[in-house]
Chain A
Amino acid sequence: MIEFHNVTKRYESGFQALSNVSLQLNDGQMAFITGHSGAGKSTLLKIIAMIEKPTRGQALLNRINLNNLSRQRIPFLRRNIGIIFQDHQLPFDRPVFENVALPLQIQGYRPQEIAKRTRAALDKVGLLQKEKSLPITLSGGEQQRVGIARAVVHKPMLLLADEPTGNLDPMLSREIMQIFIDFNQVGVTVLVASHDLRLIEELDKPRLTLNAGKLILNDLDQYDSGDQYGSS
Chain B
Amino acid sequence: MARHNVRRRKPPTINQISAYFLHHLQSLIFSLGKIYQAPTTTIMTVAVIGITLSLPGGFYLFLKNIEAVSGDFRSSTQISLYLDLGTSEKQARRLEKDIAGMDSVATTRFISRAQSLEEFRRDSGFGKSIDTLSSNPLPHTIVVEPDEAETFTVRSLQNRLQAIPEVKIAKLDTEWLERLYTIIEIAKRSVTIITILFAFAVLLIIGNTIRLDIQNRYQEIIVTKLIGATDAFIRRPFLYGGVWYGLLGGIISWLIVEIGYLSISGPLARLNLLYKSDMNLITFSFQDFVVLIASSTLLGLAGSWIAVARHLNQIEPT
Contacts and interface: CB of A to CB of B under 8 A. Distances in A.
Contacts of A150: 227
A49 interface: yes
B228 interface: yes
Contacts of A52: 318
A80 B146 CA distance: 83
Contact of A88 (B222, B230, B231): B222
Interface string A176-196: 000000000001000000000
A79 interface: yes
Interface residues of B, number: 32
B226 A27 contact: no
A105 B23 contact: yes
A188 B223 CA distance: 21
Contacts of A109: 12-14
B179 interface: no
Interface in B118-148: none
Given A106-B233, A155-B5, A157-B2, A90 B223 contact: yes
Interface residues of A, number: 42
A108 B2 contact: no
A75 B230 contact: yes
A110 B220 CA distance: 23
Nearest to A28: B1
Contacts of B223: 88-91, 102
Nearest to B33: A93
Question: Main secondary structure on chain B at its contact with chain A?
Answer: helix
Contacts of B222: 88
Question: Main secondary structure on chain A at its contact with chain B?
Answer: loop
Contacts of B220: 91
A103 B228 contact: yes
B21 to A, nearest CB: 10
A71 to B, nearest CB: 8
Contacts of B229: 75, 106
A107 interface: yes
A228 B161 CA distance: 110
A7 B119 CA distance: 105
A83 interface: yes
A145 interface: no
A132 interface: no
Contacts of A91: 217, 219-220, 223
Interface string A41-56: 0000010010110000
A202 B288 CA distance: 75
Contacts of A105: 23, 26
B196 interface: no
A76 B228 CA distance: 6
B106 interface: no
A118 B226 CA distance: 18
A89 B220 CA distance: 8
B271 interface: no
Interface string B179-210: 00000000000000000000000000000000
* Closest CB pairs A-B (n = 10): A108-B19, A79-B228, A91-B220, A78-B228, A113-B12, A103-B227, A27-B1, A75-B230, A75-B228, A106-B229
Given A78-B225, A78-B228, A88-B226, 7 more contacts: A79-B227, A88-B219, A91-B220, A102-B223, A106-B229, A113-B13, A227-B1
Interface of A: 27-28, 46, 49, 51-52, 62, 71-72, 75-81, 83, 85, 88-91, 93, 102-103, 105-111, 113, 117, 150-151, 154-155, 157, 187, 227, 229
28 contacts: A27-B1, A27-B2, A28-B1, A72-B230, A75-B228, A75-B229, A75-B230, A75-B231, A78-B225, A78-B226, A78-B227, A80-B2, A88-B219, A88-B222, A88-B317, A89-B219, A89-B223, A91-B219, A102-B223, A106-B228, A106-B233, A109-B14, A110-B12, A111-B22, A113-B13, A117-B12, A155-B5, A157-B2
